[in-house]
């Protein structure tokens, strides 16, 4: 499983941040020291769905419903269905007859129609053509922009030329913003003002890099160099970046401070899947093949605290299938597809 999809105040002092990280993580190649580890007191699981359904769950913007991909009956349409979190095991309601993608507020949806990418405003049915030849798009967190990649040639992925394009959500103002080799669009910053881009800037560049592109000013900032990169994910407050690297020198899950100039990436003491709970707290599920169940841990980067929220237990539904889990917008709840019964379960987080 790898990390993902995007509040509380950050303490903001570089020295304090460095001290906190030194407590809970280690520098690459060094051992790790876990401090302030709290153990869980028990959590309650609530079954939301039946019928072995419901992949790709996510929460509605207000957190009141869990959305998922399904076709609940042979005569029912395939699309995005939902169930209210306060009405577990109730009949799912159809939200959209398409798989998406959707803007974060669920106001806009993209679809492929007649070989063209169409963005529709769901409240009134207004539709716009995105001039990208029917390629997939990704909405910015605020829904103002869309981004897509245009791969050129049939060369191997690690050297293939890729153009990154940006446009307004109605398709206007389309423009090429970057070119990469062996990479492309890697994610949005949570404020919708920056793009994460991966790959080499030229075919002759000695290393691939992850950069942050300011879409308004056009300036780029190099965040890190890498051999193989997976799952880059910026925290909701834009202060941290979590990611996985697999390369000859070192492997693992890393976190990088985005507020300190020339910050050194720090390797965390687990390997597995992760999601941001809020601006400073990272939830993670360590990979443990053959274990009785999954564990859920929380890492508070601002306070230097590590806490186990859910224990691995043979009788628990908490064994996640296919990395299908999501955190509610307010960080209070988690939904997951259980590998035990292939249904969605909800848990309120401590």
DSSP 157: G
For residues 211 and 223, the answer to whether their CB atoms sit within 8 Å is: yes
| Token pair listed for 216 | 């308004």
Beta carbons within 10 angstroms of residue 142's beta carbon: 15
Contacts by residues 220-229 (CB-CB < 8 Å, ≥ 24 positions apart):
220/178, 223/196, 223/256, 223/258, 224/256, 224/265, 229/186, 229/198
Domain ranges of the chain: 14-348
Reported confidence tier of residue 247, pLDDT bands at 50, 70, 90: confident
3-class DSSP assignment, residue 21? helix
> Which of 56, 63, 158, 132 lies closest to 101, judged by CA?
56
Q: Name residues whose C-beta falls within 8 Å of residue 73's C-beta, 6 or more positions apart in sequence.
A: none
- Which pLDDT score is estimated for 23? 31
Cis peptide before 101 (omega within 30 of 0): yes
Cα–Cα distance for residue pair 322/310, rounded to 1 Å: 18
Q: Which two tokens stand for residue 107?
A: 């106001």
Q: Residues 324-350: what's their mean pLDDT?
A: 97
Nearest to 223 by CA among 235, 207, 212: 212
Q: Are 252 and 265 in contact, with CB atoms under 8 Å apart? A: no
CB 284 within 8 A of CB 306: no
pTM for the predicted model, two decimal places: 0.86
Predicted confidence (pLDDT) at residue 4 exceeds the cutoff of 50? no
Between strands 305-310 and 37-38, the pairing is: parallel
Could you please report the per-residue DSSP string of 313-340? -TTSS--EEEEEEEE-TTSSEEEEEETT
State pLDDT tens for residues 16-38. Answer: 233 233 333 333 333 332 334 45
The lowest-confidence range among 137-146, 167-176, 250-259 is 250-259
Residue 295: band (very low, low, confident or very high) from pLDDT cuts 50, 70, 90 = very high
The CATH class of 14-348 is mainly beta
Percentage of the chain lying above the pLDDT 90 cut? 78
pLDDT score for 251: 87
Average pLDDT over residues 205-234: 94
Of 30-34, 181-185, 343-347, minimum mean pLDDT range: 30-34
């Amino acid at each position: 499983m790898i990390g993902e999809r995007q509040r509380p105040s950050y303490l903001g002092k570089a020295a304090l941040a460095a001290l906190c990280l030194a407590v809970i993580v280690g520098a690459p190649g060094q051992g790790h020291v876990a401090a302030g580890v709290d153990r869980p007191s028990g959590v309650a699981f609530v079954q939301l769905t039946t019928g072995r359904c419901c992949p790709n769950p996510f929460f509605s913007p207000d957190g009141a419903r869990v959305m998922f991909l399904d076709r609940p009956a042979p005569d029912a349409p395939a699309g995005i269905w939902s169930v209210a979190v306060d009405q577990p095991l109730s009949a799912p309601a159809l939200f959209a007859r398409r798989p998406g993608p959707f803007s974060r507020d669920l106001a806009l949806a993209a679809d492929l129609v007649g070989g063209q990418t169409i963005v529709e405003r769901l409240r009134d049915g207004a539709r716009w053509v995105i001039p990208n030849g029917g390629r997939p798009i990704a909405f910015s967190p605020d829904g103002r922009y869309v981004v897509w990649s245009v791969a050129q040639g049939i060369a191997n992925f690690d050297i293939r030329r890729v153009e990154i394009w940006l446009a307004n959500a109605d398709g206007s103002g389309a423009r090429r913003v970057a070119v990469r080799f062996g990479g492309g669009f890697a994610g949005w910053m949570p404020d919708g003002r920056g793009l994460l881009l991966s790959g080499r800037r030229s075919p002759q560049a000695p290393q691939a890099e992850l950069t942050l592109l300011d879409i308004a000013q056009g300036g780029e900032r190099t965040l890190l160099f890498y051999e193989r990169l997976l799952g880059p994910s910026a925290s909701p407050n834009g202060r941290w970046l979590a990611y996985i690297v697999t390369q000859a020198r070192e492997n693992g899950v890393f976190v990088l401070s985005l507020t300190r100039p020339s910050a050194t990436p720090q390797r965390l003491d687990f390997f597995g899947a992760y999601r941001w709970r809020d601006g400073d707290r990272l939830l993670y599920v360590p990979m443990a093949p053959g274990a009785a169940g999954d564990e859920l841990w929380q890492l508070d980067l601002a306070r230097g605290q590590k806490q186990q929220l859910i224990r691995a237990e043979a009788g628990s539904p908490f064994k996640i299938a296919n990395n299908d889990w999501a955190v509610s917008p307010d960080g209070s709840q988690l939904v997951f597809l259980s590998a035990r019964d292939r249904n969605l379960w909800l848990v309120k987080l401590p």
